[in-house]
Amino acid sequence: MTRPAANGQPERWDLETAAKAAAAEAGDVPFAFTYKGTDYEVPNQRNWPAEALALLGRGEIDAALPLIVGDDTYRGLLGAGLSVGELMVLFDKVAEQSGVGDLPNSSPPRRPGSRRM
């Protein structure tokens, strides 16, 4: 809803300010974990760049991960020998911690039925 400003014109809603307030209210904290003796953090999913989600959706994990965790952290994980299986476990845990890990799987789309003509 847009409020009228003092001059009678609608006041613009500021997305950045609203998102910061929502993050503060939700208590967005990074997910901290240890891998091979080194501590790392993954930002809360709400703080991931939208571009990273698009890359993940296309299966481009190698391009998305540096955007999510930062170049130094990404290189550190790769240098420590992170496997795809470990990465999958990490993403599952990050999703669980952010409250989306226990959502049921979506039902497959309904197949159109055939009709006799």
Output the CA–CA distances (angstroms, integers) from residue 68 to 26, 89, 98, in the order listed: 19, 16, 15
Distance CA 81, CA 36 (A): 9
pLDDT tens-digit series, residues 29-53: 889 999 999 999 999 888 899 999 8
Q: What is the DSSP letter of 7?
A: T
Output the CA–CA distances (angstroms, integers) from residue 109 to 19, 102, 106, 112, in the order listed: 32, 21, 9, 9
- In a domain, residue 13? The reply is no
Residue 106 has a pLDDT of 38
pTM for the model stands at: 0.64
The total domain count for the chain is: 1
Could you tell me the residue range of the domain that residue 86 belongs to?
26-91
Residue 107 has a pLDDT of 43
- In a domain, residue 49? The reply is yes
- In a domain, residue 105? The reply is no
pLDDT tens-digit series, residues 62-116: 899 999 999 999 999 999 999 989 988 988 888 787 665 543 443 444 555 555 5
- In a domain, residue 2? The reply is no
